[in-house]
Structure 1
Amino acid sequence: MKEEEDIKVNRRRTDKVYFESTFIQSISDKIDFLREESKEILKELDSTEFKQQLDEFDLEEFSEDTINNIDDIFDDISRFKDDVIKSDDIPDDIKEQYRNTQAYFNRDGDYLRRAKRKMDRLNEEKLTDEYKTNNRIIELCDKAIAVRYDNFDAYVLKAQALINLERYDEAIEEFINALSLKDDVDVWLAIANVNRLNGDFDDAINVYDKVLLKYNDLFNVFKGKAYVYFDLEDYQNAAEFFEKANSIKYLDEESMKTWGESLEKLE
């Protein structure tokens, strides 16, 4: 095990406690934030003008921010614990017993929920450090998989984080792990898209054709192939496949824009 970090406390003139450890200080600050927010909501509820202010008070947003801060606190504590305890130093039989206990209490689901929450906040641009957040999502998914090896959603979410980090080959491996547990058309489509992002255009086309044979998913195959041909600067085929896809279901705004660019290139 690693030696535990000395947690020294400095007291200043105020009642607030300051820690020399910046990591512990960040956890303390988040707890203080929740405490202050709780005081504010109690003041709001106790106010004689509460009825007039009710429409202006966004309880849903307050609740979400509070949950996110609680989630961050637990995550920071979990990371601190992992930093102090090296798993390599723990005997295998104890690790297996610990894993079984974690599985019994469905801790893999807890890890996955935390990872999904971070991904949602990242997609909503509520978190700015994309590199750090995606790596943490991967760590949480690995924890979920370590508890329960057949956690399909953990492999898929881990792959999405790897895509965000442009680690495409690793993402495909995780998608394949997911497919070994459950055959899923969305995962096949994701693999095709990752191949396109990675510049493996022939592989992307082959996967789309496989999806067409297995699922007869004309719309997504046509749209996917259109993007591949657009990246290949084959604007004739790109335009034709966008048109085929749109004849089945209206394309989204981004696809319509790319279709328009394809047609402009042909003029």
Structure 2
Amino acid sequence: MKESKDEQDIKINKRSTDKVFFESTLLQQISDGIDFIRDESREILREIDLRGLDEVDIEEIGQKAYNQISDIADEMSQLKSDFINDEDFPESIKESSKNFKAALNRDEDYVRRAQRRLDRTNSNEFVDNIRSNVRVIELCDNAIAVNSSNAEAYYLKGRALVNLDKYPEAIEEYINSLAVKDDIKVWIAIANANTLNEDYADAINVYDSVLQRDENSFDAVKGKALAYYSCGDYKKADEEFKKASELDSLDDSSKKIWGECLEYI
């Protein structure tokens, strides 16, 4: 009998070493993660034995272990999704499953996982940032499927889309978030996306609307300065950077851009 594609994907290739290699990339990632935890545990115990417990950063070790376990759980969740096609189930079962997940607040679980992965992606912890952002979008879509009124899921999906340079699509998700809950951080995210998409007039208008609600919004003032800089209006950029610096400390990147504005004036 001919093997199905799924059966072929999980076929094991035995090589000259004791390590097992899978043809399925996803299964290989899960296996590598488990191997990493095993090897890292041995190394931690060896380090504790040599240096003593007081000299080992337990919090750092715990965070790394938690991240790795979280990654394995996420990969296994993906694997389950690949094997189980929702289209194969009757609508009544799908609706029952959705209601059950909603009752357990599974949408919040998806959002937490998306937030963690997004934070780690922005910290450059992952080699493949594109794949990681795509996974954030999948987790947000899962949350939205359970609860279409989860504003944070739309917001995080928008941020992942920005990381993929898909600015119009990101703005659509931000608008979906605002339709559920009005939040200044989302308005600022829209303005930032407009700046990245070179829609500077729209960006500045959105920043101004935020400043009408909160004249001391540091993020809005700094964002406005960066928008003016990006469109070549260095004098106005300088004015906004001055206002921003009076509200809070500028990051090194903004200070550098401000310096360039002064050189152009």
For the structure 1 residues 110 and 5, does the alpha-carbon distance in structure 2 shift closer, same or farther, using more than 3 Å as the test? Answer: farther
Aligned residue runs from structure 1 range 43-192, under 5 A: 47=49, 52-192=51-191
6, 16, 28: which one aligns with 1:4: 6
User: What is the aligned partner in structure 2 of residue 234 from structure 1?
Assistant: 233
Structure 1 residue 220, shift from structure 2 partner: 3.6
**Which digits, 9 at most, give the CA deviation of each residue in 1:46-80, with x for residues without a partner?**
x4x5xx42244232222222222211222221112
Structure 1 residue 25, shift from structure 2 partner: 3.2
Gapped runs of 5+ residues in structure 1?
A: none
Partner of 2:7, secondary structure, is: coil
25, 35, 38: which one aligns with 2:38: 35
Structure 1 residue 169, shift from structure 2 partner: 0.6
**Which digits, 9 at most, give the CA deviation of each residue in 1:19-59, with x for residues without a partner?**
444432332232233234344545666x4x5xx42244232
Partner of 1:213, secondary structure, is: helix
For the structure 1 residues 20 and 238, does the alpha-carbon distance in structure 2 shift closer, same or farther, using more than 3 Å as the test? Answer: closer
Partner of 2:6, secondary structure, is: coil
Aligned-partner Cα distance in 1 for 2:220–2:90: 49
Partner of 1:233, secondary structure, is: coil
Aligned-partner Cα distance in 1 for 2:192–2:17: 56
Q: State the TM-score, normalizing by the size of structure 1.
A: 0.87
Amino acid at match of 2:237: A
21, 29, 34: which one aligns with 1:26: 29
User: What is the aligned partner in structure 2 of residue 223 from structure 1?
Assistant: 222
Structure 1 residue 156, shift from structure 2 partner: 1.2
User: What is the aligned partner in structure 1 of residue 199 from structure 2?
Assistant: 200
Amino acid at match of 2:7: E
Identity %: 52
Aligned-partner Cα distance in 2 for 1:257–1:18: 48
Check the 8 A contact 1:189/1:208 in 2, yes or no: yes
Structure 1 residue 5, shift from structure 2 partner: 2.5
Aligned-partner Cα distance in 2 for 1:113–1:164: 18
Amino acid at match of 2:264: K
For the structure 1 residues 103 and 240, does the alpha-carbon distance in structure 2 shift closer, same or farther, using more than 3 Å as the test? Answer: same
Q: Which moved more, 1:234-243 or 1:189-198?
A: 234-243
Q: Which moved more, 1:204-213 or 1:28-37?
A: 28-37
For the structure 1 residues 219 and 91, does the alpha-carbon distance in structure 2 shift closer, same or farther, using more than 3 Å as the test? Answer: same
Aligned-partner Cα distance in 2 for 1:16–1:234: 59
Amino acid at match of 2:213: K
Gapped runs of 5+ residues in structure 2?
A: none
Check the 8 A contact 1:3/1:84 in 2, yes or no: no
Amino acid at match of 1:107: R
Structure 1 residue 236, shift from structure 2 partner: 1.4
Check the 8 A contact 2:216/2:247 in 1, yes or no: no
Aligned-partner Cα distance in 2 for 1:124–1:94: 40
Partner of 1:4, secondary structure, is: helix
Q: State the TM-score, normalizing by the size of structure 2.
A: 0.87
Partner of 1:5, secondary structure, is: helix
Q: Which moved more, 1:126-135 or 1:75-84?
A: 75-84
Aligned-partner Cα distance in 2 for 1:249–1:160: 24
For the structure 1 residues 261 and 92, does the alpha-carbon distance in structure 2 shift closer, same or farther, using more than 3 Å as the test? Answer: same
Check the 8 A contact 1:225/1:241 in 2, yes or no: yes
Amino acid at match of 1:37: E
How many aligned positions are there? Answer: 261
Q: Which moved more, 1:153-162 or 1:35-44?
A: 35-44
Aligned-partner Cα distance in 2 for 1:89–1:132: 26
User: What is the aligned partner in structure 1 of residue 211 from structure 2?
Assistant: 212
For the structure 1 residues 176 and 15, does the alpha-carbon distance in structure 2 shift closer, same or farther, using more than 3 Å as the test? Answer: same
Aligned-partner Cα distance in 2 for 1:16–1:3: 24
Amino acid at match of 1:25: Q
